[in-house]
């Protein structure tokens, strides 16, 4: 368990040192979920370069951009450690598609959330089954939902800690790290895709739009898939 003092320490520690801190406390029960976005590429680089005992995994929903697979392949070639992949249950996907249609998520928020639950939430829960702390690339600037999130929080539903080492980073700091350390990133980012999810659910945004405006662009909701909802 982490104390209030530990939480206060993590609030002040730089991301690299914070990752060392939690990995030493939780050993093989520290995990990091990457969606291969810019923030996640920063954290992946920090973990793999320092050879920290943190499991890095990603969710392959079956509806990703081809660019995701290209970057995943590049990551696995660059680092000695590999990113583990979790897939949705095939029976869940088949039942959803056969009953509602291949693109049923466009029809209602309920259908979209069910698709996210099948393709993202359930595989995530399997990946986190034995974890003690879940590391994410969330930043407070990304959406209104995340403005008040702390660096360290307790996930009551999953009964584990959630550590957000980049919570107070600006987007410019993320870009600076990627450039300084020559970290590869999704080529989609240069085409206006800032927050990137599944291919049919993501569009490019204009310069004045919110970073998550391109996610589930056809609906007006909280722009969350359920992985980090509160």
Catalytic residue from among 115, 116, 201, 225: 225
Closest CA to 66 of 212, 191, 186, 192: 186
Q: 225 catalytic, yes or no? A: yes
User: Looking at the DSSP assignment, which residues form a beta bridge with residue 135?
Assistant: 32, 163
Burial of 201 (0-12, 13-18, 19+ CB in 10 A): buried
Q: Which two tokens stand for residue 212?
A: 């998550």
Range 64-73 burial, b when 16+ CB lie within 10 A, else e: bbebbeebbe
Q: What is the dihedral of CA 79, 82, 88, 89, to 10 degrees?
A: 160
Residues annotated as catalytic (active site), given as ranges: 225
């Amino acid at each position: 368990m982490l104390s209030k003092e530990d939480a206060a320490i993590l609030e002040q520690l730089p991301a690299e040192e914070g990752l060392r801190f939690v990995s030493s406390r939780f050993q093989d029960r520290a995990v990091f979920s990457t969606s291969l976005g810019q923030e996640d590429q920063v954290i992946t680089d920090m973990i793999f370069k320092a050879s920290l005992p943190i499991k890095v995994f990603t969710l392959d929903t079956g509806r990703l951009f081809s660019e995701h697979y290209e970057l995943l392949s590049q990551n696995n070639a660059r680092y000695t450690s590999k990113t583990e992949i979790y897939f949705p249950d095939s029976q869940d996907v088949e039942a959803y598609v056969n009953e509602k249609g291949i693109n049923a998520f466009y029809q209602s928020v309920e259908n979209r959330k069910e698709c996210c639950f099948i393709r993202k939430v359930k595989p995530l829960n399997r990946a986190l089954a034995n974890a003690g702390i879940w590391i994410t690339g969330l930043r407070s600037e990304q959406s209104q939902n995340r403005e008040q999130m702390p660096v360290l929080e307790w996930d009551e539903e999953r009964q584990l800690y959630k550590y957000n080492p980049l919570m107070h980073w600006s987007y410019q700091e993320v870009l600076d790290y990627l450039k300084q350390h020559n970290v590869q990133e999704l080529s989609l980012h240069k085409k206006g895709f800032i927050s990137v999810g599944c291919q049919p659910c993501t569009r490019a945004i204009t310069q004045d739009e919110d970073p998550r405006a391109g996610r589930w662009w056809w609906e007006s909701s909280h722009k969350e898939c359920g992985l980090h909802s509160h």
